[in-house]
Amino acid sequence: MTIPKPYFIQATGVAQRGEATKNKLPLISTALDSVRAYQWEIHFQGLPAIGDSQQGKSLTLAAKQVTQIGHTVEDITVDRFNDRVYYPGKGSAEEVKITFDNLYQPQMADVLYNWFQGTYNPVDGRVGTTRSINGSPTRLKGTAVVLQMDGKGNIVGGTKLYGTYPKAWKLAEFNYSTQNEFHTIEMTLRYDFAVQYNSSDINTHY
Neighbour-count burial of 163, counting CB atoms closer than 10 A to its CB (0-12 exposed, 13-18 middle, 19+ buried): middle
pLDDT in tens, 109-154: 988 998 888 888 888 888 876 655 555 556 678 899 999 999 898 9
Report the pLDDT value the prediction gives residue 2, as an integer from 0 to 100.
Answer: 72
User: 146: which residues sit within 8 A by CB, 6+ positions away?
Assistant: 40, 41, 42, 66, 69, 158, 159, 160, 161
Third-level CATH fold of 35-205: Pnp Oxidase; Chain A (2.30.110)
Q: What percent of the chain has pLDDT over 70?
A: 76
Q: For 173-187, write each residue's pLDDT tens digit.
A: 999 998 888 999 999
For 9-26, write each residue's pLDDT tens digit: 655 555 444 454 555 666
Select the highest-mean-pLDDT range: 11-25, 28-42, 59-73, 116-130. Answer: 59-73
- pLDDT on residue 121: 85
**Which tens digit of pLDDT belongs to each residue from 87-100?**
999 999 999 999 99
- Phi first, then psi: give them for residue 41, nearest 5 degrees: -160, 135
**E-only strand ranges, 21-70:** 40-45, 63-66
Residue 82 Cα distances to 78, 79, 85, 86, 88, angstroms: 11, 8, 10, 14, 21
Element (H, E) at 194: strand 193-198
Cis peptide before 6 (omega within 30 of 0): no
